[in-house]
């Protein structure tokens, strides 16, 4: 017994009639979305650089709107159960050629039909499980990324604190050490100056005492010389008188 014909498939349909495109070109696009979910089919049509993809996308959107508004179906549970293109009226035109002859021009048209239906229950279950898994995986990735970013921020904060501590501590210690060293040098210099001053004073006192001791001896010698001179003068006077 023959199966269900394509045009007899149950579901919600939308038909575009007498579109100025050959059925051959339209079928090349319809083969891409047959059996696909509605969302996936819309993505494929948006990424296909053909004129037929734009038209088929409009027909698909019309079929989904009919299913939602007329049959009260959830658009997320729909898929393209059937799609086909039939030949329409062929418009005949004539073009003059050489030697007074004419050539026939055939302008093809087609009727595009898209049928959408609800997914089977088993396929819906698999799809929902896949979506749930993707959602869980995405959430876990976001949580892991946020944790990594927070850990990196904490590490950066601790590193900055440690570097600031290292920068400030060595600056204070050498300053204190230099101040202590300067104080020690100053005390040592003051002590040395004091000792040097004492030595100088003591030396000066000794020189003064020596000079004072030597000064009387010179005066005694001068006195003795004067007395000797007086004695010689007196002796000379006595001799002259004699």
Please list the pLDDT of the chain residue by residue as tens digits (242 residues): 567 788 788 889 999 999 999 999 999 999 999 999 999 999 999 999 999 999 999 999 999 999 999 999 999 889 999 999 999 999 999 999 999 999 999 999 999 999 999 988 888 888 888 888 888 888 888 888 888 888 888 888 777 777 766 555 554 444 454 545 545 555 555 555 555 555 444 445 545 454 444 444 555 555 666 666 666 666 666 666 65
CB-based burial label for 59 (10 Å; 0-12, 13-18, 19+): buried
User: What are φ and ψ of residue 76, in 5° steps?
Assistant: -75, -15
Q: For residue 240, give the H/E element and its range.
A: helix 121-241
What's this model's pTM, rounded to 2 decimal places?
0.55
Domain ranges, ordered by start, for the chain: 10-119
* CA separation, residue 30 to residues 79, 82, 88, 112, 124 (Å): 13, 9, 17, 9, 23
pLDDT recorded at residue 125: 87
pLDDT recorded at residue 134: 85
Token reading at 192: 């040395």
Q: Which are the contacts of 181, defined by CB distance < 8 A and separation ≥ 6? A: none
CA distance 86 to 88: 6
CA distance 104 to 107: 10
CATH topology of domain 10-119: Ribosomal Protein L22; Chain A (3.90.470)
pLDDT recorded at residue 211: 46
pLDDT recorded at residue 36: 93
């Amino acid at each position: 017994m023959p199966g269900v014909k394509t045009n007899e498939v149950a579901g919600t349909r939308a038909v575009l009639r007498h579109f100025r495109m050959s059925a051959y070109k339209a079928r090349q696009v319809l083969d891409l979305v047959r059996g696909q979910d509605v969302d996936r089919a819309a993505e494929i049509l948006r990424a296909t650089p053909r004129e037929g993809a734009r038209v088929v996308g409009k027909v698909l959107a019309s079929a989904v709107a009919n299913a939602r508004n007329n049959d009260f179906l959830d658009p997320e549970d729909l898929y393209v159960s059937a799609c086909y293109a039939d030949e329409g009226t062929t418009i005949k035109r004539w073009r003059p050629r050489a030697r007074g002859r004419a050539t026939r021009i055939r302008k093809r048209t087609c009727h595009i039909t898209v049928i959408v239906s609800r997914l089977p229950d088993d396929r819906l279950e698999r799809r929902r499980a896949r979506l749930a898994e993707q959602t869980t995986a995405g959430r876990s990735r976001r949580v892991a990324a946020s944790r990594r970013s927070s850990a990196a921020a904490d590490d950066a904060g601790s590193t900055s604190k440690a570097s600031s501590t290292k920068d400030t501590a060595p600056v204070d210690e050498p300053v204190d050490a230099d101040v202590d060293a300067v104080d020690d040098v100053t005390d040592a210099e003051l002590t040395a100056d004091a000792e040097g001053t004492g030595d100088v004073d003591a030396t000066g006192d000794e020189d003064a005492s020596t000079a004072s001791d030597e000064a009387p001896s010179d005066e005694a010698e001068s006195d003795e010389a004067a007395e000797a001179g007086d004695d010689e003068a007196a002796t000379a006077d006595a001799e002259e008188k004699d």
